[in-house]
Amino acid sequence: MDTSLQICEDCDTVHRRRPLSRGEVARCACCGAELDRHHGLGVNELLALVLTSGIVFVVANVWPIVTLGLNGQHVSARLWGVILAMWERGAPIVAVIAAATLFFFPALRMLLLGLVLVQARRGRRGAGFRPAMVALHYLRPWTMNEVFVLGTLVAIVKVRAYFEVATDPGLYGYVALMMLITVFSGVDLRRLWELAREPAA
């Protein structure tokens, strides 16, 4: 297998790999798709980011996101409250979509990312490296935390006229999570295949 070559996934053009300098992005000469970019973040930095995201994820889920007040009554919502509300009020399909894209898939992605990064750091592929890398490839489009943050903002504006609105720590947790997810979504995980070698049989 030749690792000096790479094939553009958008148009099947074969390119020769070349080392990139800081901030450089390699683009396909035929269709303009991004082939490769310089990585500023090493495995250790990525592992630290995943750990931080894990902590922020807990904060975002344990504390309420927003509290509404009306006539001295208060209602606050956590992510799971939102999911259960949809389940109980006649939209179970939406509840399942929200649970998957806002909770289970992001959580799974962080766990798997942690697993492959720990192994890449050791330089060896251990149990589950291959299925974890494949699963990460398929999970990638199915996390929607950033959409949820914007949705929260829209919801706040919609109810502002009728209720007292207070934002809670959960919302800040979500904003932080959104930024962290954006950072490691830009990282090409495929280089981990090269960093973690196959164990000698």
Q: Considering only 41-49, 109-117, 149-157, 172-180, which stretch makes contact with other proteins by CB under 8 A?
A: 149-157
- Cβ atoms of residues 135 and 107 within 8 Å: no
Q: What are phi and psi of 103, to 5 degrees?
A: -120, -65
Question: By CB under 8 A, what part of segment 155-194 binds other proteins?
Answer: 155, 157-163, 190, 193
User: Which is closer to other proteins, CB of 25 or CB of 91?
Assistant: 91
Write out the two tokens for 139: 């999970």
Question: Can residue 196 be called a binding residue for other proteins (CB under 8 A)?
Answer: no
Distance CA 121, CA 30 (A): 35
Rounded least distance, CB 168 to other proteins, Å: 11
Question: Can residue 137 be called a binding residue for other proteins (CB under 8 A)?
Answer: yes
Question: Can residue 38 be called a binding residue for other proteins (CB under 8 A)?
Answer: no
- Which of 48, 91, 111, 179 touches other proteins (CB under 8 A)? 91
- Which of 50, 38, 21 has its CA nearest to residue 191? 38
Cα 27 to Cα 35, 49, 119, distances in angstroms: 5, 27, 29
Rounded least distance, CB 193 to other proteins, Å: 6
Q: What are phi and psi of 108, to 5 degrees?
A: -65, -40
Burial class (CB in 10 A: 0-12, 13-18, 19+), 200: exposed
Q: One symbol per residue from 65 to 84: x for binding other proteins (CB under 8 A), - otherwise; what is it?
A: xx-x-xx-x-xxx---xxxx
Distance CA 187, CA 101 (A): 20
Q: One symbol per residue from 15 to 34: x for binding other proteins (CB under 8 A), - otherwise; what is it?
A: x-------------xxxxx-
Per CB under 8 A, residues contacting other proteins are 1-3, 5-15, 29-33, 65-66, 68, 70-71, 73, 75-77, 81-86, 89-91, 93-95, 97-98, 101, 130, 133-134, 137-138, 141, 144, 147-148, 150-155, 157-163, 190, 193
